[in-house]
Structure 1
Amino acid sequence: MTEITANYDEPWKAAISEYFESFLSFFYPEIYVSINWQKKPVSLDKELEQITASATTEKRYADKLYQAWLLDNQEIWILIHIEVQSQYDREFSERMFIYNYRVFDLYNKPVISLAILGDENPSWRPNSYQYGLEKSQMRLDFAIVKLLDYQWEELEANNNLFAIVVMAHLKTKSTTSNLTEREQWKWQLVRSLYDRGLTKFDIINLFKFIDKMMTLPPELESNFQTKVNQYEEEQRMEFLSTIEELAIERGQKIGLERGAKETYRQNILDLLERRFNSLPETLVKAVNEIDDLAWLKQLHLETITVSSVSEFEELLSRRNSTNI
């Protein structure tokens, strides 16, 4: 299975963003009962970007950062990390330590570090990081949850929405080499959304999480969509098909991305022409063929600083040679 087949990070982040209270209630009930939920927690996305940008490790895995208040009104920051590696990662504990101290260093806030371990190694359970010599020691202990520890029957009986997210994660992992079985489990999990008596809002949200995580090849995805549409017709659902809503959303997202790419391409060419008068047709063609939005953004910045057309062409040439 290729990396694109299963998408873990995006659904987990989206689920936590939409249902943060349910997340703590399900995974960390002892922390949940200590939070003052009369004050709505604040997602600190910009602060998280600053923290990860300042870290010196090559990997940037920290997922969510929240500002919350305890029952005594003490402010705390909650740093959540989702780890879905399939093997031992010796840098994991150090990474948890780095993000924790960066929060304190940059913002001088008390930090609670939490980790969700979604890997397949039952014996890998890192929960601390320590370094030092003799009596001079530095240590961070952090709370972990191992998804492999959950029993399927308990998840089925649990009304918390994150029970479904965990079920989708576990079945995505276990069907790595059997995508036909994954399609069957995907349908079973989606069907359970209707049977649980959830609201339309929650059904659509959880459907999105499951759909993004349990990605299927086109033929199996078509079979799955047919099952969903038939079921909604049989049950005479009064709202627009979940599949159709997702299709509309995807179309809008694709349209926005395409528009952004076209804008960046045109801005790059306009700036180059303004600075250096005429441009070779080969360069114009090369820019118009770039489909990587991140690369277009970087090129747009480079357009301002390059000293000549040939220097810009060299940038394109180096990029193309590294992608061969």
Structure 2
Amino acid sequence: MAISEYLPDFINFFYPEIYNSINWKKTPISLDKELEQITASATTEKRYVDKLFQVWLLDDQEIWILIHIEVQSQYDQEFPKRMFIYNYRAFDLCNKSVVSLAILGDDNPSWRPNYYEYGLEKSQMSLDFSIVKLLDYEWEKLSANNNVFALMVMAHLKTKSTTSNLTEREEWKWQIVRSLYERGFSKFDIINLFKFIDKMMTLPPKLQQKLESKINQYEESQKMEFLSTMEENAIERGQKIGQQIGQQIGAKETCRQNIIDLLKMRFSSVPETLVETLNNIQDLAFLKQLLLETIRVNSVVEFEELIQNNYSENN
């Protein structure tokens, strides 16, 4: 979610009270090496901590901010324990105060874990941590907010809601991308934010080309050359990849197997009918799109509906 590039905006959008307590005149320091030590020493199977920063409060106190994002997660019984483990590991590493923050992008409105505790009688250990649920944000308020993370949340919400309708996703993606220009962001920010939105709201080649055409036409009408002339962006968005998929049979088989393996890992089993459907799909780009969707869908049934609703567009 572009945290490193826009940390003040991130804290200001999700945790305004914490933002107001930080001395932003002192540049925050990203503690990547320390983060590696914290996650490597933890004993949990899942390691989702994203960023660790050193910042200073207005009274010059140094603290560490531990940011954890679970954008695709479902209910996870071990999540509070992970938050506790990473917090005490960070504290133990350098004896600094650690503030733990979590962003939850799941679809369950009732799952709101914000503490972990254990103990017996008067001997207790506990950690309270702050969480943000992305589904709590209202679209109208996001649309009126010029913080870059308002756009990131909008992109996330529409990515989740259009899993089974990629045509609708393309339409929403265009609206969000167009708002980058309309909100008056700099050329640097437009290019940078587009990269994050583009990777989040993935599209099959035909719909991606449709989006790119809209971007080109808009930039021509506005006499801009921010995105349409960027060869590097075009490569990243898969424009050239789509031209080379004709004879990549081995890649298709690998992609199909990866889809099946990921679905089995998430949902235990995969119906033979779904395996047969995947074997009949010859469009490598569409298979790659499905591979990305395996981490977004909430069930095998939803994944099958996604194929049914979008396969005809790619043939």
Shorter chain as denominator, the TM-score bin is: 0.7 to 0.9
Shift of 1:239: 4.5
Give the Å deviation of 1:86.
4.4
Task: Tell me if 1:166 matches 2:166.
Answer: no
Residue of structure 1 aligned with 2:184, choices 184, 189, 197: 197
Give the aligned partner of residue 96 of structure 2.
109
Q: What is residue 131 of structure 1 aligned with on the other side?
A: 118
Alignment check: 8 A CA contact 1:229 1:243 kept: no
Query: Which of 186, 194, 210 is the equivalent residue of 1:207?
Result: 194
SS class of match (2:77)? coil
Find out whether 1:78 has 2:65 as its counterpart: yes
| TM-aligned CA deviation for residue 217 of structure 1 | 1.1
* Aligned: 1:19 with 2:6: yes
Task: Label 1:24 to 1:240 Cα distance change in 2 as closer, same or farther (>3 A).
Answer: closer
- How many residue pairs match? The answer is 240
Gaps of 5+ in 2: 242-315
| Higher Rg | 1
- 1:14-93 alignment runs, 5 A limit: 15-93=2-80
Name the amino acid aligned to 2:128.
D
> How high is the TM-score relative to the length of structure 1?
0.71
- Does the Cα contact within 8 Å between 2:104 and 2:134 map onto a contact in 1? yes
Tell whether 2:171 aligns with 1:184.
yes
Q: TM-score, normalised to structure 2's length? A: 0.73
Q: 1:131–1:240: structure 2 CA closer, same or farther, 3 Å change rule?
A: closer
Q: How does 1:239-318 map to 2 (within 5 A)?
A: 239=226, 241=228, 244-247=231-234
Report the residue type matching 1:191 in the other structure. R
Which region of structure 1 is more displaced relative to structure 2, 229-238 or 140-149?
229-238
- Residue 43 of structure 1: how far off its partner (Å): 0.5
Q: Do the aligned partners of residues 130 and 242 (structure 1) sit closer, same or farther apart at CA in structure 2, a change above 3 Å counting? A: farther
Aligned to 1:275: none
Change in 2 beyond 3 A, CA 1:38/1:106: same
Give the equivalent residue in structure 2 for 1:94. 81
Displacement of 1:241: 2.4
Residues 211 and 248 of structure 1: is their aligned pair in 2 closer, same or farther, counting only changes over 3 Å?
Answer: same
Q: Which moved more, 1:19-28 or 1:241-250?
A: 241-250
What is the CA–CA distance in structure 2 between the aligned matches of 1:42 and 1:220, rounded to whole Å?
Answer: 40
Using the alignment, how far apart are the partners of 2:73 and 2:66 within structure 1? 22
Rounded to whole Å, the distance in 1 between the matches of 2:65 and 2:90 is: 10
Higher relative contact order (CA 8 A, sep 6+): 1
Deviation at 1:224, TM superposition (A): 1.1
- The separation in 2 between residues aligned to 1:240 and 1:38, in whole angstroms, is 32
Task: Mark the runs of 5 or more structure 1 residues left unpaired by the alignment.
Answer: 1-11, 255-324
